[in-house]
């Protein structure tokens, strides 16, 4: 049985908004596995999806380069926004972006082996912060792109048909939409992901005490809502919520064949250290 610490309970409370005792009990039952605890809590309490741990904790910037029908995005991370604004860091991001563009490949390892790792290590020594090249993407086709003014969110979209204005609208929607679109169409959502959500909804609906046929309708309604929320064409257009993206594309005689969205720090979990407690511990207090 894993030891359940106060920090584990605190983190789960922040992610779920539930009470301390509920969170502690869930962690005990899940043997300390926070993700399993969240899944079980959703089944038992009807809680909505929890916040993602450390979604924007890591810093850095998006490298971006588009020439003609080819576009490249890279995410390069550092520890603080201060370092992200450093000219040396910015120069490194530009270097990485240019090399990915020249290689026409999102595979970073050959570039690291080819000299980028040495440059990265020198940069770490210079700015005093850890630096990592997290990921890269390259798209080619009828490309439209969008980079937020902060340099923290970048989007590339490939359209079949349509015009530049429509492409920009779609790219800006993908950047701003909440929840984020994860797939183009509902049919693109993996069956195992749908099955997992359905299992949660079944457990939630079963506690209502309603007849089985009503429970089934409740579950299917929630599944349809879930699919619509994460599918691009089903989302309300951020500039006109009365129009869905699918309808907007149809009006423009276009369809989205591929898109990529990067947000700095997305999904990176960062350990939060209580420095006062750490110092007190080291002093034996």
Q: For position 127, what pLDDT does the model report?
A: 86
Q: How confident is the model at residue 119 (pLDDT cuts 50, 70, 90)?
A: very high
Structural tokens at position 222: 């929630």
Could you tell me if residue 10 is inside a domain? Answer: yes
Same domain, 137 and 65: yes
The whole-model pTM stands at 0.73
- With contact defined as beta carbons under 8 Å apart, do 81 and 59 qualify? yes
CATH number (domain holding residue 131): 3.30.479.20
Same domain, 142 and 65: yes
pLDDT digits 0-9 by tens, 222-258: 999 999 999 999 999 999 999 999 999 999 999 999 9
DSSP the chain: -----HHHHHHHHHHH---HHHHHHHHHHTTT-HHHHHHHHHHHH-PPPPPPTTTT-SEEEEEEEEETTEEEEEEEEES-HHHHT-HHHHHHHHHHHHHHHHHT----HHHIIIIIHHHHHHHHHHHSS--EEEEEEEEESSEEEEE-TTSSEEEEEEEEE--HHHHHHHHHHHHH-SSPP-BSSGGGS-HHHHHHHHHHHHHHHHTT---HHHHHHHHHHHHHHHHHHHBGGGSEETTEEEEEHHHHHHHTTEEEEEEEEEETTTT---PPP-HHHHHHHHTT-
Q: For position 183, what pLDDT does the model report?
A: 97
Q: How confident is the model at residue 76 (pLDDT cuts 50, 70, 90)?
A: very high
Last residue of a domain, one of 156, 181, 198: 156
Could you tell me if residue 127 is inside a domain? Answer: yes
Same domain, 76 and 99: yes
Q: Pairing relation of β-strands 254-263 and 240-244?
A: unpaired
Beta bridge partners of residue 255, listed in sequence order: 160
Q: For position 65, what pLDDT does the model report?
A: 96
Share of the chain above pLDDT 70, in %: 89
CATH number (domain holding residue 34): 1.10.8.10
Last residue of a domain, one of 133, 156, 179: 156
Number of domains in the chain: 2
Q: Of 260, 170, 183, 165, which is closest to residue 229 (Cα–Cα)?
A: 183
Could you tell me if residue 219 is inside a domain? Answer: no
Same domain, 90 and 18: no
Same domain, 101 and 72: yes
- For the cut 50, the answer to whether the pLDDT of residue 63 exceeds it is yes
Residue 30 belongs to what domain range? Answer: 6-45
Of 14-28, 90-104, 113-127, give the lowest mean pLDDT range: 14-28
Q: What is the mean pLDDT of residues 209-224?
A: 87
Could you tell me if residue 79 is inside a domain? Answer: yes
CA–CA dist 277, 105 (Å, integer): 46
> What contacts 255, CB < 8 A, 6 or more positions away?
159, 160, 161, 249
pLDDT digits 0-9 by tens, 16-26: 777 788 888 99
Same domain, 97 and 72: yes
- Across the chain, what does the average pLDDT equal? 87
Last residue of a domain, one of 140, 156, 172: 156
């Amino acid at each position: 049985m894993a030891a359940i610490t106060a920090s584990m309970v605190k983190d789960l409370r922040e992610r779920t908004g539930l009470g301390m005792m509920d969170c502690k009990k869930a962690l005990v039952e899940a043997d300390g596995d926070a993700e399993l605890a969240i899944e079980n809590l959703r089944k038992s309490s009807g809680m909505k999806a929890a916040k993602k741990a450390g979604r924007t904790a890591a810093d850095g910037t998006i490298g971006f380069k588009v020439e003609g029908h080819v576009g490249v995005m890279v995410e390069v991370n550092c520890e603080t926004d201060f370092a992200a604004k450093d000219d040396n860091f910015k120069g490194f991001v530009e270097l990485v972006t240019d090399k990915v563009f020249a290689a026409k490949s999102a595979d970073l390892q050959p570039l690291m082996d080819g000299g980028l790792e040495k440059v990265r290590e020198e940069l770490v020594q210079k700015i005093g912060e850890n630096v990592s090249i997290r990921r890269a993407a390259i798209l080619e086709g009828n490309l439209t792109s969008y980079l937020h003014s902060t340099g923290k969110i970048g989007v590339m979209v490939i359209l079949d048909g349509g015009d530049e204005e429509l492409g920009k609208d779609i790219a800006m929607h993908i950047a701003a939409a909440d929840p984020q679109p994860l797939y183009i169409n509902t049919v693109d959502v993996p069956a195992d992901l749908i099955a997992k959500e359905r299992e949660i909804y079944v457990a939630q609906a079963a506690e209502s005490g309603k007849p089985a046929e009503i429970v089934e309708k409740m579950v299917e309604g929630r599944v349809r809502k879930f699919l619509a929320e994460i599918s691009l064409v089903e989302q309300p257009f951020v500039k006109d919520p009365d129009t869905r993206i699918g309808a907007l594309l149809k009006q423009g005689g276009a369809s989205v064949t591929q898109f990529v969205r990067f947000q700095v720090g997305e999904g990176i979990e960062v350990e939060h250290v209580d420095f006062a407690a750490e110092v007190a511990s080291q002093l034996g207090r």
